[in-house]
Amino acid sequence: MRALVCFVGVVLLGCVFAKGAAAQDHHERPASVDEAEALVPAPGILENSVEMMLARGDTLWVGPFLSLTTDAGESWMATDADSLGGHSRRAFSMSGAGSTLVAGLGDRIRARGASAQRITVAEGFLVSQDDGRSWAYRSPRPPLDDDPATTGIFDLPEDTVTVFGVSQLESLPITSPTSTPPRGVAVDPSTGTIWSANVRAGLRRSTDNAETWERVVLPPDTLDSISPEIEYDFPFFPQPIGPAEEDFAGRNFQVYDVLVDADGRVWAGAVGGVNWSDDGRAWERRGFDGTPDGLSGSWVFRLAEQRTETTSTIWMATRPAVEADEIAGVAFTEDGGQTFERTLAGETIYDFAFRDDTVYAAGANGLFTSTDGGRSWTTTRRFLTPDDPNRSVREGTEVFAVDTIDDAIWIGTDDGLFRSSDDGRTWRLFRADVPLATDEASEVTPRELVPDVEAFAYPNPYSPARDNEVRIRFDLERAGSVRVRIFDFGMNLVRELEGESFGSGRNEISWDGTDRNGASVANGPYFYTVDSDDGRVRGKILVLE
């Protein structure tokens, strides 16, 4: 089991979940890892970039490391799973039905030979049958058996044929984890089938709690529908390997999200459009066709259902894929895919949430709210925190995730988690930090987890590419100016940060990981000093890319 490890000295170096010896390498395939993993108290959310959330009843699950709160953020728990820890595996998606919860795991790693490019990889799944109190890890590797119909998220090299009804389709086996994370998962409440959208590994389904998977055939880019009773000979290639790029017709096999609506219909959002099926076998597809009642862009990145007593509306976040006149935006259908309407033209949207007739859309330019079915929107770009005005919120913060619980709106951003109970007028901010020694520890932040320091930096270790900024937190007895200096291991001055008007109490100042010339600093330890009228405090930051 993992331990909650806090490195405390002159300064808190970090408070992270250390990966235990039982964690599985993604190149191994156990038959099943069924050991139960418990929930443990946590001091708060575990990373400031919150890209995934799931609300169930009064419980809010927060990614990427699956922390949760049942009391509006007053206390937090974390999933103590060996297969989810440190920075090695992250929850890219989460869904549930009944007592079943599924989290799709992936990672972002730096590509070899590239100075800044990061690629995504698949890392498997966590499955819970008791509403998240315990979890079992499922590897993405294929099973070691002779059944050609079932596989993992990855295939065996000999998986070159997929049977679709009366057809045998030439298929490209996916044997690499690259660009195959489970970006969307869904659980069918009536059958227990788990669906997973795995980008370049396509759409897959499991009927045995994610132990094994079946490849799901969607229409190629050249067809608007497919049926298992009709014979086809198109290549089932989700990546342009084999056919020439101009002949590649498998963009619709690259799936980013999946949804099972309240009527049991399955929806799949792909680079080639939106797909829907009543039985999971025969599919219809709608992509960009340039018409006013179609999608604004073929790439359907996100799906969500707005359900009322009398209506069901499927919302789609769309992006441009192939054609020059495609744009980002939102499309929705109120009649099961027969017609579509467009809204939020030009906006990059990541997620949706609903409360009765109100629609919330999380986007690159803030939180969008509509009370008239998407015909008009209001935008929130500043998330005011009057109860803690000294904590800064980075300008231009993107909103990645949104959900609702009772009268509260929750949003996940690249700069923290926010909650509003007054329709977005004011917000409470949650970040992956630990209270200073002057703060009072709560029941779920035991005294031994509160560092006896006057300043600390978070997140720590700090990755400039992933975290954008590291914040240095300090206390002031009285308001005044502050000077923060950052030094390398040889005590050479790297950067000086100044602030003229800090208030008394808790404060923080951010550093973007660059030196005085604007160049990114190298990996390694850095030391800082905080000088104020109260005196000087010191600390340490570990930069680790």
Q: 364-410 pLDDT, tens per residue?
A: 999 999 999 999 999 999 887 777 666 667 677 899 999 999 999 99
Res. 291: pLDDT tops 60? yes
In a domain, 331, yes or no: no
In a domain, 384, yes or no: no
Number of folded domains in the chain? 3
Highest mean pLDDT among 5-9, 188-192, 288-292: 188-192
Asked which of 262, 277, 302 is the last residue of a domain, the reply is 302
Mean pLDDT over each residue of the chain, to the nearest integer:
84
Return the sign of the alpha-carbon dihedral for residues 27, 31, 34, 35.
negative
For 472, the domain range is 456-543
163/85 same-domain check:
no
- Total residue length of the chain: 545
Residue 535 bridge partners (DSSP): 532
Report d(CA 178, CA 117) in Å as an integer. Answer: 13
Res. 327: pLDDT tops 90? yes
The single-letter DSSP state of residue 33 is B
Asked which of 302, 319, 351 is the last residue of a domain, the reply is 302
Average pLDDT over residues 468-486: 86
In a domain, 351, yes or no: no
Give the three-class secondary structure for 64: coil
Nearest Cα residue to 505 out of 472, 475, 531, 545: 475
User: Per-residue confidence at 23, pLDDT binned at 50, 70, 90?
Assistant: very low
User: Per-residue confidence at 59, pLDDT binned at 50, 70, 90?
Assistant: very high
> Is the distance from CB of 502 to CB of 523 less than 8 angstroms?
no
115/187 same-domain check:
no
> Is the distance from CB of 274 to CB of 268 less than 8 angstroms?
yes
Residue holding tokens 């156990």? Answer: 30
Which CATH number goes with the domain that contains 461?
A: 2.60.40.4070
Give percent of the chain above pLDDT 90: 57
158/182 same-domain check:
yes
Q: What is the pLDDT of residue 86?
A: 52
In a domain, 236, yes or no: yes
Q: What is the pLDDT of residue 294?
A: 87
Report d(CA 219, CA 298) in Å as an integer. Answer: 14
C-alpha neighbours within 13 Å on the C-beta side of residue 119:
15
In a domain, 414, yes or no: no
Q: Cis omega (within 30 of 0) on the bond before 64?
A: yes
Res. 529: pLDDT tops 50? yes
296/197 same-domain check:
yes
Q: What is the pLDDT of residue 439?
A: 45
95/239 same-domain check:
no
In a domain, 420, yes or no: no
The 3-state DSSP composition of the chain as helix, strand, coil percent (nearest 5) reads 0, 45, 55
176/114 same-domain check:
no
Asked which of 273, 302, 331 is the last residue of a domain, the reply is 302
- CB neighbours (10 Å) of residue 367? 25
14/111 same-domain check:
yes
> Is the distance from CB of 95 to CB of 185 less than 8 angstroms?
yes
151/73 same-domain check:
no
Q: What is the pLDDT of residue 500?
A: 65
Q: What is the pLDDT of residue 247?
A: 75
Instruction: Give the tens place of pLDDT for each residue, 235-288.
Output: 999 988 766 677 789 999 999 999 999 999 999 999 999 999 999 999 999 999
Q: What is the pLDDT of residue 40?
A: 86
Res. 513: pLDDT tops 80? yes
Res. 523: pLDDT tops 70? yes
5/68 same-domain check:
yes
Res. 510: pLDDT tops 80? yes
Residue holding tokens 């027969």? Answer: 338
Instruction: Report in angstroms the alpha-carbon separations of 349 from 299, 301, 313, 368, 527.
Output: 12, 9, 17, 9, 39
Report the chain's terminal Cα–Cα distance, integer Å. 26
192/126 same-domain check:
no
Q: Quote the pTM value.
A: 0.81
In a domain, 339, yes or no: no
64/158 same-domain check:
no
In a domain, 309, yes or no: no
157/297 same-domain check:
yes
- CB neighbours (10 Å) of residue 446? 12
